[in-house]
């Protein structure tokens, strides 16, 4: 066992003495040591309950014959960080989480790890660490939040951000806003729809890195605690079998995860995260793969924010096993998972309990998957859009550019009603280098939706969008403005052409005109010159490579 390095032999007597200071007995010194990686914090609603989950995990570990050692990682709430400088830290926190898990595990020589997470960057950060360390590892996600109810309708965080636009448009008063605010988020857990946190939980299960049925049970359910306890037991079996993350995280497993994501109409952020996890598993994940797989499977679950169903309803309909059962003819069924069984064995007894929530292949929400990759002279290396969140009449669009060099300036123009029907809002210098940190643009997109413009206004950015975004919002434009990308050359009034079905996005300018503008372009002063973000901006790769850090 790896932990023998800290507990066996006369020369390890000091180490054993320190372990005994923790209450470890001689009998326990002979058992596997398990790191329990808990991202609990009382500032993130999705993580506020994770101490309970960790308690159940540790009970499971002990009952199966292991010794648990709990430690924590940081965790950022994207909703609370949204719309201000704090959002610059969200994506970069993913790398810190991966590094901190690696550091703790390598320093203390754990035999295996159980990773407990819920929210946006924490789940992929932990999976990146698992792939990098390649010791027996399993994840248990913390589960979704209940939906709020307001005037008989389901509401959540997306409702709150869209309410800002409604107040600005005069269709909602501040008294109603306060009533909505009080009921929108009624419990702990990740936000109620198929936003980034829940998408990543579903991706984790589809990858085979969490137990079957783990992704969708509510955070407040007893089922969540039972899954946690079983997860604690399972890590001991993984150690006994020597089943490691890279035995599971094969190319075919990533294809499964992407196809499930496409079927769910999940967050565009998964493109960044799946690419980054694959990189840690030494798999070269191309942006084109997402588009190829999007054409292989249909979008079959109409989930909040672009549809009516929440995570509780998806769970009651059969969860991810049922989704995978529908997709079985497209999936790689022989892939091994942390259950010790194949995907085929895991979903053998799955049932679709509500065919409105999980629709059959021959009656999909959309004929293609939820994410599309666009290319053209604005984004030579690609851009990403949640096609599942776009209405049919905005799948193609042509309009004049309104350019902004920051989220704040765009947001001011939106709330000042300077954006008109037909416009294409360009928000640039918000990429991984230029931001730095590639901020999410939920405030502008939700405000536009709340003002009733999502059927007539498109947004394009070298930043990214929240999983709660809906409408024609195109992000991850690469190369980004800060590195000289064409998005930085656009001017107000340039005519932008968007064609999602044909995967094209262009500005109606000649190559000669773009080349002339490129000669006149000058790099901007960085927004941040000190601290972690300054280092991050010098080390980060482009969005089409997952915004990973350059390898040493």
Q: Which residues does the annotation mark as catalytic?
A: 466
* d(C-alpha 84, C-alpha 250), whole Å: 38
**Residue 47 Cα distances to 195, 236, 332, 552, angstroms:** 16, 25, 32, 32
Up-side HSE of residue 367: CA atoms within 13 Å toward CB? 2
Tally DSSP H helices, then E strands, for the chain. Answer: 20, 14
* d(C-alpha 397, C-alpha 230), whole Å: 50
CA dihedral over 275, 276, 280, 282, signed as positive or negative: positive
Q: How many C-beta neighbours within 10 Å does residue 242 have?
A: 9
Task: DSSP letter for 87, please.
Answer: G
* d(C-alpha 451, C-alpha 445), whole Å: 10
> The sheet that has 382-386: what strands, in order across it?
371-374, 382-386, 473-478, 458-461, 424-427, 396-404, 495-499, 504-507
* d(C-alpha 200, C-alpha 203), whole Å: 5
Contacts of 483 (CB under 8 A, 6+ apart): 431, 433, 434, 542
């Amino acid at each position: 066992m790896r932990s023998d390095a800290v507990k066996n032999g006369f020369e390890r007597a000091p180490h054993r003495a320190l372990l005994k200071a923790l209450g470890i007995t001689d009998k326990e010194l002979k058992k596997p040591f398990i790191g329990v990686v808990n991202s609990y914090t009382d500032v993130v609603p999705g993580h506020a309950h994770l101490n309970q989950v960790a308690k159940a995990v540790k009970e499971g570990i002990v009952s199966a014959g292991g010794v648990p050692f709990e430690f924590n990682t940081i965790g950022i709430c994207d909703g609370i960080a949204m719309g201000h400088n704090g959002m610059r830290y969200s994506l970069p926190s993913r790398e810190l989480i991966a590094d901190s898990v690696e550091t703790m595990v390598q320093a203390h020589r754990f035999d295996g790890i159980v990773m407990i997470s819920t929210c946006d960057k924490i789940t992929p950060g932990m999976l990146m660490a698992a792939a990098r360390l390649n010791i027996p590892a399993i994840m248990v996600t913390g589960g979704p939040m209940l939906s709020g109810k307001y005037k008989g309708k389901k509401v959540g965080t997306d409702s709150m951000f869209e309410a800002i636009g409604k107040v600005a448009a005069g269709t909602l008063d501040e008294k109603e806003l306060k009533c909505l605010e009080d009921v929108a988020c009624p419990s702990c857990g990740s936000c109620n729809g198929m936003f980034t946190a829940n998408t990543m939980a579903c991706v984790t299960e589809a990858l085979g890195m969490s137990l079957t049925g783990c992704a969708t049970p509510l955070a407040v359910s007893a089922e969540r605690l039972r899954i946690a306890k079983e997860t604690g037991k399972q890590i001991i079996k993984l150690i006994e079998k020597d089943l490691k993350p890279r035995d599971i995280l094969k190319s075919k497993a990533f294809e499964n995860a992407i196809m499930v994501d496409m079927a769910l109409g999940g967050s565009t952020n998964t493109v960044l995260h799946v690419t980054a996890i694959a990189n840690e598993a030494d798999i070269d994940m191309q942006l084109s793969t997402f588009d190829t797989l999007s054409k292989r499977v249909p979008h079959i679950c109409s989930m909040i924010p672009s549809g009516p169903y929440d995570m509780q309803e998806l769970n009651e309909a059969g969860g991810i096993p049922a989704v995978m059962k529908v997709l079985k003819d497209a999936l790689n069924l022989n892939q091994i998972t942390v259950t010790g069984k194949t995907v085929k064995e895991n979903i053998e007894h799955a049932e679709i309990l509500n065919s409105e929530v999980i629709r059959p292949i021959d009656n999909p929400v959309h004929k293609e998957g939820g994410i599309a990759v666009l290319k053209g002279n604005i984004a030579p290396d690609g851009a990403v859009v949640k096609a599942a969140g776009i209405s049919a009449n905005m799948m193609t669009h042509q309009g004049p550019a309104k350019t902004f060099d920051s989220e704040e300036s765009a947001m001011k123009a939106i709330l000042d009603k300077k954006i008109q029907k037909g416009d294409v809002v360009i928000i640039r210098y918000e990429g991984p280098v230029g931001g730095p940190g590639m901020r999410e643009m939920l405030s502008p997109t939700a405000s536009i939706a709340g003002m009733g413009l999502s059927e007539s206004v498109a947004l394009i950015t070298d930043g990214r969008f929240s999983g709660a975004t809906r409408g024609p919002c195109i992000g991850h434009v690469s190369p980004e403005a800060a590195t000289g990308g064409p998005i930085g050359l656009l001017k107000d009034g340039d005519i932008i052409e968007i064609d999602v079905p044909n995967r094209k996005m262009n500005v109606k300018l000649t190559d000669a005109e773009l080349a002339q503008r490129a000669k006149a372009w000058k790099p901007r002063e960085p927004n941040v010159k000190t601290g972690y973000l300054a280092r991050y901006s010098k080390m980060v790769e482009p969005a089409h490579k997952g915004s990973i850090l350059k390898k040493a």
